[in-house]
């Protein structure tokens, strides 16, 4: 299959409406979209990514008015949706009984998200249907934050890539379960626990003893480049730096000898560049990637989550 590359949402929306797969930019990472009304397209999303079939897809909407098409949202869900959407978060709510079970991998819940991104918005409005979309990477690889990264993973496997700028947030959305009495964060992201607690003081991170099943995606090897990832504490030595990449806020003593160095000004820039840095290190054939540890609060919690997962990946 020849993949279309374009900056124009209209032809991409037309392809999606006919059952095609279209990658599109969002503020978090690029998504790989399929119409929730096309069962074959939904099946092809799993095939194109090599995604385990029991890992549910997030449904993307242009506007909160569309929530009722795919979900049954209660009062807590509605109030969180009103405050946090559009934005870099996903709410897990009760699914609409008519939603295709392939989207939710047979679960009673569905993740819904309204991206805060002009191109995503234009695309989703043109589609006019809810769009199921996982991140646009091959399963197990770092999420794609540029259209070139989508191309590297999915060229020839999907109908189109809607080209936009690099994603500004750079890590996937905060996934928040709102089906119980308190919001529970299943996956940390740019919408922080602290922000959600300001709205609902009882909000908390998922705990392994929680009765609800965790984001199934978090079970799988994730975010992992081919290189071996190390969570680096400042001051720790970096052996054979020429074979290593380093990303962080502080310059390590080995800086001038490193194979690749990315110094970032703040945590926002760290999150934004992390996955692209993983991919660049892989392209250079570096053996190890050091990511500086940051305090696990605010956006730092999401950075540490991705780093520790990537580090555990092998």
Task: Give the residues lining the site for ligand TXA (CB under 6 A).
Answer: 26, 28-29, 31, 55-58, 90, 92, 104, 107, 109-111, 113, 133-135, 172-173, 175, 186-187, 215-218
Q: Could you give the 3-state DSSP secondary structure of residue 269?
A: helix
What is the per-residue DSSP string for 144-157? Answer: P-SHHHHHHHHTTT
Give the nearest distance from C-beta 118 to ligand TXA in angstroms. 15
Backbone dihedral region for residue 280 (phi beyond 0: left; psi -120 to 50: alpha; all else: beta): alpha
Cα end-to-end distance, the chain, whole Å = 33
Q: Which does 58 bind (CB under 5 to 8 A by kind): Mg ion, ligand TXA, none?
A: ligand TXA
Say which entry of ligand TXA, Mg ion, none residue 308 contacts (CB below 5 to 8 A, set by partner kind).
none
Using the minimum distance from each CB to ligand TXA, give the nearer residue, 22 or 186: 186
Which residues have a Cβ under 8 Å from the Cβ of 71 and sit 6 or more positions away? 59, 77, 93, 94, 95, 96, 99, 110, 112
For 290-301, letters b (16+ CB in 10 Å) and e give bbbbbeeebbbb
Bridge-based pairing state of the strands 31-35 and 131-132: antiparallel
Nearer to Mg ion, 135 or 173 (CB): 135
Residue 234 makes CB contacts below 8 A (sequence gap 6+) with 248, 250, 252, 292, 293
C-beta of 263: minimal distance to ligand TXA in Å?
Answer: 26
> 3-class DSSP state for residue 35?
strand
Q: Which is nearer to Mg ion, 17 or 55 (CB)?
A: 55
| Minimum CB distance to ligand TXA, residue 308 (Å) | 15
CB of 217 to Mg ion, least distance (A): 6
Residue 173: contacted member of ligand TXA, Mg ion, none (CB under 5 to 8 Å, by partner type): ligand TXA
Least separation in angstroms between CB 227 and ligand TXA: 21
Q: Which residue has the tokens 């006919």?
A: 18
> CB 297 → ligand TXA: shortest distance, Å?
20
Residue 186 interacts with which of Mg ion, ligand TXA, none, CB < 5 to 8 Å by class: ligand TXA
> Which residues are near Mg ion by CB under 5 A?
135
CB of 283 to ligand TXA, least distance (A): 22
Partner from Mg ion, ligand TXA, none binding residue 29, C-beta < 5-8 Å depending on class: ligand TXA
- To which H or E segment does residue 204 belong? strand 204-205
Q: Work out what residue 56 binds among ligand TXA, Mg ion, none; the CB cut-off runs from 5 to 8 Å by kind.
A: ligand TXA
DSSP code of 135? B
Q: Which is nearer to ligand TXA, 77 or 111 (CB)?
A: 111
């Amino acid at each position: 299959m020849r993949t279309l590359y374009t900056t124009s949402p209209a032809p991409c929306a037309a392809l999606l409406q006919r059952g095609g797969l279209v990658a599109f930019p969002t503020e978090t990472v690029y998504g790989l979209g399929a119409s929730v009304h096309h069962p074959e397209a939904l099946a092809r999303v799993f095939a194109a990514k090599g995604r385990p079939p029991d890992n549910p897809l997030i449904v993307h909407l242009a506007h909160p008015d569309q929530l009722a098409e795919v979900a049954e949202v209660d009062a807590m869900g509605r109030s969180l949706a009103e405050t946090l959407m559009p934005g870099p978060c996903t709410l897990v709510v009760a699914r609409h009984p008519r939603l295709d079970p392939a989207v939710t991998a047979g679960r009673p819940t569905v993740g819904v998200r309204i991206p805060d991104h002009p191109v995503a918005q234009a695309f989703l409005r043109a589609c006019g249907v809810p769009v199921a979309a996982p991140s646009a990477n091959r399963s197990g690889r770092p999420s794609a934050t540029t259209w070139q990264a989508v191309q590297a993973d999915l060229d020839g496997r999907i109908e189109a890539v809607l080209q936009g700028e690099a994603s500004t947030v750079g890590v996937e959305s905060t996934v928040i379960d709102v089906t119980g009495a308190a919001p529970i964060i299943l996956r940390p992201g740019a919408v922080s626990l602290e922000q959600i607690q300001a709205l609902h003081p009882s909000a908390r991170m998922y705990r392994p003893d929680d009765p609800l099943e965790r984001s199934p995606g978090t079970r799988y090897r994730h975010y992992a480049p081919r290189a071996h990832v190390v969570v680096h504490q400042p001051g720790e030595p970096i052996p054979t730096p020429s074979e290593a990449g380093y990303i962080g806020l502080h310059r390590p003593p080995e800086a001038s000898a490193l194979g690749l160095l990315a110094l970032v000004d703040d945590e926002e820039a760290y999150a934004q560049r992390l996955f692209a840095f993983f991919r660049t290190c892989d392209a250079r054939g570096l053996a190890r990637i050091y990511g500086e540890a940051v305090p696990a609060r605010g956006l730092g919690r999401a950075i540490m989550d991705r780093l520790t997962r990537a580090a555990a990946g092998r």
